[in-house]
């Protein structure tokens, strides 16, 4: 079907090896680990008292990541250039883009942004399910006020794993699958600015997850996802897995941010102005600025922690001149923009889907863009609200209280735009629309609970309690994950050609919405009543609410499994293909491409750009693209 | 009156009723943490105020979304809707931003005043002053005389202990405080970061090694209260809770102090002298 | 079917803009890393008022060797800019490119040597002053050496396997990166030496 079948001369070794993809990656990971561990052992051998050398483990993990990437073929191009080899052949290009089709192309280095989007989709869902298992464990343990079936060590490990895996998931939940898949299409580009880099951002995630999970066998890590030193300094070897895994994910977020910014700024089709790109692309763009700039701070602080653990430095140990406040400040300078990285793409995809089901233009597009930019800018100036009771100088607190409360202004703009779009609309309550409604309800609670936490006096009561848990679960799960599920339902016909069952989807939504609110309202109440976070024992008087939270949480877990069931059933077991790809009758340009989308999206760059939200014009389907593009030849609607 | 207008008025009326009922309920609900200390009272008032301000806005937004969906658009044959309904109304947007901004500013100002003003707020304002050590040596940080009872809270993995410097420097495993007394908590840690959270008294401050975090509170209510650790500090973080913290009358307190001194006497000679921070000898403590 | 080479000709102007933008975005992220180190340095310094900064027993950073290293970095930059001029004029990149490589490698080797010979008391277990400074120098070393490999790839691919446009845009981007590193290296040395 391609030039590959025609070639008769013997393949170069690099091409033979390239076909082994992930298998070679795994081999490389093992070799890299062994080499790295040897180097580490040699550099800083284990102390007499410790169970093993931290240096060996950390450098081993780093080596395994490098070895994995080498095996996947990420170094082939740089090495070829270093050896003065000619530019890649046509076969190489076709192979890199997975032009031969089939499932194997997802298990190797694939620079087609749509393939990367699919890879992210599966991986994000896997992380969500894995983290969810941890949550079920936690809630099962918390049915009793005293420790029951879990040991203190395993409980704390699962708390840490649940939170870190969910953080990894949330940081790429929407940008990964949907940003990578749709941003180039939405701006009329054949590819991302740096296609190979995009593949790299994905392939950093599986090694990160496995390195993190390997900490289970090394005693786990006791710090939760915030990794506070000096507890991290004294932790057992499982801590090293957390440090390296988080480093890899931070690099992935940063590179993804770089790629998205460069793509949106340099790859827009001729004639497409920034004021005409879909709102989803704007949300990805603003997120990417945060994504580019925040993780380097995390990198710095993680490396300091590695030096503390490997080299007995004292960055965070007061007796050696360090201070725990260094960790707290640097971590949260990263940590706060990080949570806006979670939510901004969710805002974007929600506002992108809303006009389709309201059958009405997006109200206040420019105001929405302004709101997102406002959130992005303000997110850098609020981090010390995590430190209100930590012992920072009291005079700093009013400023951070004000800046944190001020973030609700641009956030409220998103609600204004949503309400404005819904006003006098003719809503169709499809499954994605239900998730949009759920998003709006949940994030309202999430946002308001944030205001309680931003107020310093009330934070005195609520910091480090289950109120905080409820706040961030309402925003991350209640908004971002609800947005993700709705967006998957919405975009699946475009990405794979399958349609999910509408009736089952509505049942799944209500199941998820009710159990989600039951769980986290219970936790909200627990927080107000003074239950601290990350504890395995609690005041027996609070058992009722804990049981309520746990039972609703089990139901929530069931609803997520049900979603997975619907997904697998309608895509793999008994595939349901859409008769017409544009199931939702959307004006988005991404829906006007043929199915399957050609490898390079367009043969000629599209022209005649406008915002794809003109639902008020009844003749939108026949008018000159007020939201369309020149269709490829031979394709009808 | 058009259907739209009727709907808007109906929804507005519903919202008004909900807001008023909600306000009453919020005014009388017993919000935590309660009134066991001046700080707790102030915090409770703040939470009540925030809830009271949040409820109308929250319910208005929900009703707004529901209403927006219920107000259906006219027929395709009818005259086209005005652009400001369809694509954006800059004046409405500016008004919205202005109103939200004013509410936010008001909340921030109220919060700052609470932090800076009355007696309890004075306590809150001073809570969190740190005096950091220079390789373990304390610099400055004279103990307060005149009206305050200083109590040192020493956190370690996985137990809080309490020292009373002005009462002989004895150490106790349980916290007992006299009623109607200004207490100056000095919170520090021997190893990793903990957080001392005396829930009902609204006292919360991180315990950081070689740092002395001060928190002031005035006890107002007799009773037995619960303290927990608020910062993940290792395996038995959850076990650092204590349900036997007591606020007793002045007389009972003096009795208790005398008893504790007697109990404590044999080990006093092993305790280091009182200091706002400690650097434990790693070889001498194990965990 | 393989449409990659067919319709879309390589757009050198687009490639140039993309590379320059990518390089500058990378430098922006790098600036956040440097900013974190500046924060850490100043925070730790502020935390140690009262005589522990700099601690006793730690030698001052040597000036002459560090100045020589910075001059080698500068010489590399000058050679790169010369190579860029040459390539834009149609000449071969390899002449001046080799010179740049030599200076760059010398600078990298000098910095690595320097890292192990900073003076008495310079071990990371010896308090936070040495730890944060050495970590910062280490980050710069890693970036310089990795950047050097980029320069190597530019020079080695040369005129046989790369177009003039490609070589000159890579040299241009590299020179921006190397200039950034020169500023960063100078700043770090001055901060650690004087503050």
The model's pLDDT over A165-200, given as tens digits with 9 standing for 90+, comes to 999 999 999 999 999 999 999 999 999 999 999 999
Among B130, B135, B212, the strongest candidate for a mutation testing the C interface, having the largest count of C CBs within 10 A, is B135
Q: What are phi and psi of A316, to 5 degrees?
A: -115, 10
Chains in contact with C via at least 3 Cβ–Cβ pairs below 8 Å: A, B
Token representation of residue A560: 């997520």
For residue A581, the 8-state DSSP code is S
> Is B204:B276 a contact under the CB 8 Å cutoff?
no
Give C161 or B21, the one with higher predicted confidence: B21
| For residues B60-80, average pLDDT | 75
Q: pLDDT tens across A243-260, in order?
A: 999 999 999 999 999 999
The order of strands in the sheet holding B223-229 is: B176-178, B242-248, B223-229, B194-198, B203-207
| Residues in CB range of B265: below 8 A, 6 or more apart | none
B283 reaches C (C-beta below 8 A): no
Any idea which residue has 């410097």 for tokens?
Answer: B165
pLDDT computed for residue B87 by the predictor: 82
Cα of A335 to nearest chain B Cα, Å: 17
Over residues B204-247, the pLDDT tens digits come to: 989 999 888 888 888 889 999 999 999 999 999 988 999 999 99
Average pLDDT score over residue span B159-165: 94
Residue A559 predicted with pLDDT over 50: yes
* Chains with 3 or more CB pairs under 8 A to chain B: A, C
Q: Is A608 left (phi over 0), alpha (psi -120 to 50) or beta?
A: left
DSSP assignment letter at A425: -
CB-CB neighbors (< 8 A) of C29 in chain A: 254, 257-258, 292-293, 295-296
Mean pLDDT of B32-42: 86
Q: Count CA within 13 A, CB hemisphere, residue C41.
A: 23
Band the pLDDT of B116: cuts 50, 70, 90.
low
| A99 to C43: CB separation less than 8 angstroms, yes or no | no
pLDDT band at residue A633 under the 50/70/90 scheme: very low
Cα A424 to Cα B71: distance, rounded to the nearest angstrom: 5
List C-alpha distances in Å: B266 to A233, B184, B263, B273: 35, 27, 7, 15
Alpha-carbon span A614 to A429, nearest angstrom: 20
% residues pLDDT > 90 (chain A) = 73
- Given a cut of 70, is residue A351 above it in pLDDT? yes
Give the up-direction half-sphere exposure of residue B215: CA atoms within 13 A in the CB hemisphere.
30
Q: What is the mean pLDDT of residues B144-168?
A: 84
Q: Which of C75, C66, C83 is nearest to C137 (CA)?
A: C66
Q: So what's the pLDDT on residue B80?
A: 64
Kind and range of the H or E run holding A286: helix A279-293
pLDDT tops 90 at residue A50: no
In this prediction, residue A550 carries a pLDDT of 97
Bridge partners of residue B155, in order along the sequence: B160, B189
pLDDT given at position A391: 83
What is the signed CA dihedral for A204, A206, A209, A211, rounded to 10 degrees? -80
Checking if the pLDDT of A158 tops 60, the result is yes
Q: What are φ and ψ of residue A31, in 5° steps?
A: -60, -45
Share of chain A above pLDDT 70, in %: 95
Smallest CA–CA distance from B137 into chain C, residue: C50
Per the structure block, which two tokens stand in for A549?
């939270």
Helix axes A397-406, A431-454, angle to 10 degrees: 160
Residue whose C-alpha is closest to residue A192's, from A177, A206, A174, A179: A179
Torsion of CA C155, C160, C166, C170, to 10 degrees: -10
Is C1 within 8 Å of A99 when comparing Cβ atoms?
A: yes
Residues with Cβ < 8 Å from C15, sequence gap 6 or more?
A: C165, C166, C169
CA distance C119 to chain A (A): 18
Q: Are A340 and A287 in contact (CB under 8 A)?
A: yes
Higher pLDDT pick, A300 / A3: A300
**Would the CB atoms of A296 and C30 count as touching at under 8 Å?**
yes
Q: Which residues of B touch A452 (CB under 8 A)?
A: 47, 50-51, 54
Q: Which of C168, C11, C26 is nearest to A189 (CA)?
A: C11
Among A2, A304, A314, the residue with its CB nearest the CB of C127 is A314
What's the whole-number mean pLDDT along residues B80-102?
85
pLDDT at B129 over 60: no
Q: CA A141, CA A323: separation in Å to the nearest integer?
A: 34
Question: Is there a contact between C52 and B135 if contact means CB atoms under 8 Å apart?
Answer: yes
Inform me whether the pLDDT recorded for B118 exceeds 70. no
Q: Which chain A residue has the Cα nearest residue C15? A: A193
Q: Please spell the DSSP secondary structure of A583-626, one letter per residue.
A: TT----GGGSS-SSPPTTS-SS-------S--TT-TTTTTSS-S
The conformation of residue A532, written as its DSSP 8-state character, comes to B
Instruction: From first to last of the 195 residues of chain C, give the pLDDT tens digit.
Output: 333 333 456 688 999 999 999 999 999 999 999 999 999 999 998 887 555 677 778 888 888 888 999 999 999 999 999 999 999 998 888 889 999 999 999 999 999 998 888 888 888 888 888 899 999 999 999 999 999 999 999 998 877 777 888 899 999 999 999 999 999 999 999 999 888
CB contact under 8 A, A190 and C149: no
- Both tokens of residue A164? 């870190």
Q: Is the pLDDT of residue A303 over 80?
A: yes
What are the structure tokens assigned to B180, written together?
A: 């109607």
Place of tokens 């990420």: A74
pLDDT, averaged across chain B: 81
Tell me the count of A-B CB pairs closer than 8 A.
269
What SS3 state is found at B207? Answer: strand
Structure confidence at residue B78 (pLDDT): 54
Q: Check pLDDT > 60 for residue B190.
A: yes
CB of B61 closer than 8 Å to CB of A415: yes
**Could C49 and B134 be called an inter-chain contact, meaning their C-beta atoms sit closer than 8 Å?**
yes
Give all strands of the β-sheet with B148-156 in edge-to-edge order. B130-132, B211-218, B182-189, B148-156, B159-164, B170-172
Pick from A262, A326, A604: which is nearest to C44 by CB?
A326
- Alpha-carbon gap, residue C132 to A202, rounded angstroms: 32
For residue A76, what is the enclosing H or E element? helix A76-82
Contact map slice: C 158-177 vs A, CB within 8 A: 158, 160-162
Q: How confident is the model at residue A501 (pLDDT cuts 50, 70, 90)?
A: very high
Q: Which residue has the tokens 């409980």?
A: A155
Tell me the HSE value of C179 on the side-chain side, using a 13 A CA sphere: 12
Closest CA to B130 of B176, B40, B193, B70: B193
- Shortest Cα distance, chain A CAs vs residue B258, angstroms: 31
Tokens representing residue A268 in the block: 């827009």
Q: Which of A193, A292, A325 sits opposite C28 (nearest CB)?
A: A292
Task: Supply the pLDDT for residue B285.
Answer: 39
Cβ contact C86:C92 at 8 Å? yes
Q: Give the mutation candidate from A458, A533, A540 for the B interface (greatest B CB count, under 10 A).
A: A458
Number of neighbouring beta carbons within 10 Å of residue C93 = 25
Distant-in-sequence, close-in-space partners of C18: CB < 8 Å, separation ≥ 6: A193, A194, A262, A266, A267
Question: What's the mean pLDDT in B106-119?
Answer: 71
- Are the beta carbons of B61 and A415 separated by less than 8 Å? yes
Residues of A with Cβ-Cβ distance to B42 under 8 angstroms = 457
């Amino acid at each position: 079907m391609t030039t590959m079948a025609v070639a008769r001369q013997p393949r170069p070794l690099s091409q033979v090896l390239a076909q082994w993809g992930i298998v070679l990656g795994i081999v490389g990971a093992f070799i890299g680990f062994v080499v790295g561990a040897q180097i580490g052992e040699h550099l800083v051998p284990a102390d007499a008292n410790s169970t093993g050398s931290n240096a060996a483990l950390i450098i081993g993990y780093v080596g395994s990541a490098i070895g994995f990437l080498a095996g996947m073929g990420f170094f082939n191009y740089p090495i070829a250039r270093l050896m003065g080899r000619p530019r890649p052949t046509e076969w190489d290009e076709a192979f890199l883009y997975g032009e031969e089709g089939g499932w194997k192309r997802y298990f190797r280095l694939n620079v087609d942004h749509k393939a990367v989007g699919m890879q992210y989709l599966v991986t994000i869902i896997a992380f969500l399910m894995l983290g969810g298992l941890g949550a079920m464990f936690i809630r099962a343990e918390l049915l009793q006020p005293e420790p029951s079936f879990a040991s203190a060590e395993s409980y704390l490990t699962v708390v840490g794993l649940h939170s870190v895996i969910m953080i990894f998931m949330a940081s790429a939940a929407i940008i990964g699958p949907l940003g990578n898949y749709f941003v180039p299409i939405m701006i009329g580009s054949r590819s991302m600015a740096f296609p190979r880099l995009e593949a790299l951002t994905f392939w950093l995630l599986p090694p990160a997850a496995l390195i993190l999970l390997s900490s289970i066998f090394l005693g786990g890590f006791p710090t939760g996802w915030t990794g506070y030193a000096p507890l991290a300094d004294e932790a057992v070897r499982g801590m090293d897995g957390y440090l390296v895994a988080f480093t890899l994910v931070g690099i992935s977020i940063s590179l993804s941010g770089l790629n998205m910014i460069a793509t949106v700024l340099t790859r827009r089709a001729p004639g497409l102005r920034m004021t005409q790109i879909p709102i989803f692309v704007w949300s990805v763009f603003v997120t990417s600025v945060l994504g580019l700039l925040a993780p380097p701070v995390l990198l710095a602080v993680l490396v300091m922690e590695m030096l503390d653990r490997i080299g007995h430095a004292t960055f965070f140990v007061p007796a050696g001149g360090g201070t725990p406040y260094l960790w707290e400040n640097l971590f949260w300078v990263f940590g706060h923009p990080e949570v806006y990285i979670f939510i901004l793409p969710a805002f974007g995809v929600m506002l992108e889907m809303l006009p389709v089901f309201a059958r009405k233009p997006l109200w206040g597009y420019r105001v929405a863009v302004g709101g997102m930019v406002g959130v992005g800018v303000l997110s850098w100036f609020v981090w010390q609200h995590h430190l209100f009771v930590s012992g920072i100088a009291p005079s700093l607190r009013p400023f951070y209280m004000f800046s944190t409360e001020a973030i609700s202004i641009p956030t409220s703009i998103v609600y204004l735009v949503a309400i404005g779009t819904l006003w006098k609309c003719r809503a169709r309550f499809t499954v994605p629309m239900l998730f949009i409604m759920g998003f709006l309800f949940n994030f309202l609670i999430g946002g308001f609970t944030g205001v309680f936490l931003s107020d310093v006096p009330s934070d005195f009561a609520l910091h480090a309690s289950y109120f905080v848990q409820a706040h961030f679960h309402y925003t991350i799960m209640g908004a971002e994950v609800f947005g993700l599920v709705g967006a998957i339902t919405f975009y699946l016909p475009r990405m794979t050609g399958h349609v999910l069952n509408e009736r089952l989807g509505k049942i799944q939504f209500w199941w998820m919405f009710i159990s989600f609110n039951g769980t986290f309202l219970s936790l909200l109440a627990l927080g107000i009543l003074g239950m601290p976070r990350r504890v395995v024992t609690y005041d027996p008087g609070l058992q009722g609410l804990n049981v309520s939270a746990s039972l609703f949480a089990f139901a929530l877990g069931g609803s997520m499994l049900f979603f997975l069931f619907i997904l697998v059933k309608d895509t793999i077991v008994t595939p349901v293909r859409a008769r017409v790809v544009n199931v939702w009758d959307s004006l988005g340009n991404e829906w006007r491409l043929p199915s399957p989308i050609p490898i390079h999206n367009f043969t000629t760059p599209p022209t005649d750009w406008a915002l794809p939200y003109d639902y008020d014009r009844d003749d939108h389907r026949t008018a000159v693209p007020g939201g369309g593009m020149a269709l490829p030849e031979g394709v009808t609607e | 009156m058009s259907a739209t207008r009727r709907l808007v008025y109906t929804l507005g009326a519903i919202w008004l009723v909900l807001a008023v009922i909600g306000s009453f309920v919020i005014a009388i609900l017993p919000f935590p943490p309660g009134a066991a200390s001046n700080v707790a009272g102030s915090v409770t008032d703040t939470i009540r105020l925030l809830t009271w301000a949040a409820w109308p806005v929250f319910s208005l937004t929900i009703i707004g979304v529901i209403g927006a969906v219920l107000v259906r658009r006219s027929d395709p044959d009818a005259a086209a809707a005005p652009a400001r309904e369809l694509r954006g109304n800059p004046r409405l947007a500016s008004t919205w931003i202005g109103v939200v901004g004013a509410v936010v500013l008001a909340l921030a100002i109220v919060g700052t005043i609470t932090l800076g003003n009355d007696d309890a707020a004075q306590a809150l304002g001073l809570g969190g002053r740190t005096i950091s050590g220079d390789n373990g040596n304390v610099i400055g940080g004279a103990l307060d005389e005149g009206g305050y009872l200083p109590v040192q809270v020493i956190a370690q993995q996985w137990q809080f202990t309490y020292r009373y410097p002005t009462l002989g420097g004895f150490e106790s495993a349980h916290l007992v405080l006299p009623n109607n007394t200004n207490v100056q908590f000095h919170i520090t840690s021997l190893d990793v970061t903990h957080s001392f959270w005396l829930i009902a008294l609204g006292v919360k401050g991180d315990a950081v090694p070689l740092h002395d975090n001060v928190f002031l509170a005035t006890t107002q209510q007799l009773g037995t209260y619960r303290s927990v650790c608020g910062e993940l500090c290792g395996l038995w973080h959850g076990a650092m809770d204590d349900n036997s913290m007591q606020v007793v009358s002045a007389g009972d307190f003096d009795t208790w102090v005398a008893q504790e001194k007697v109990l404590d006497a044999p080990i006093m000679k092993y305790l280091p002298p009182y200091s706002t921070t400690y650097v434990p000898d790693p070889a001498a403590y194990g965990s | 079917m393989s449409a990659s080479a067919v319709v879309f000709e390589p757009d050198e102007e687009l490639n140039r803009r993309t590379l320059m933008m990518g390089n500058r975005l990378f430098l922006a992220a790098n600036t956040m890393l440097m900013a974190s180190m500046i924060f850490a340095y100043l925070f730790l310094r502020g935390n140690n008022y009262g005589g522990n900064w700099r601690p006793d027993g730690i030698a001052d950073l040597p000036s002459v060797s560090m100045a020589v290293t910075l001059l080698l970095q500068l010489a590399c930059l000058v050679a790169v800019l010369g190579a860029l001029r040459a390539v834009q004029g149609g000449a071969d990149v390899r002449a001046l490119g080799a010179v740049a490589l030599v200076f760059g490698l010398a600078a990298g080797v000098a910095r690595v040597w320097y890292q192990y010979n900073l003076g008495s008391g310079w071990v990371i277990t010896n308090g936070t002053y040495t730890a944060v400074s050495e970590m910062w120098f280490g980050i710069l070393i890693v970036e310089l050496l990795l950047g050097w490999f980029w320069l190597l790839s530019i020079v080695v691919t040369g005129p046989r396997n790369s177009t003039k446009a490609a070589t000159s845009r890579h040299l241009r981007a590299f020179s921006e990166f190397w200039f950034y590193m020169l500023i960063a290296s100078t700043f770090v040395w001055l901060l650690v030496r004087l503050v």
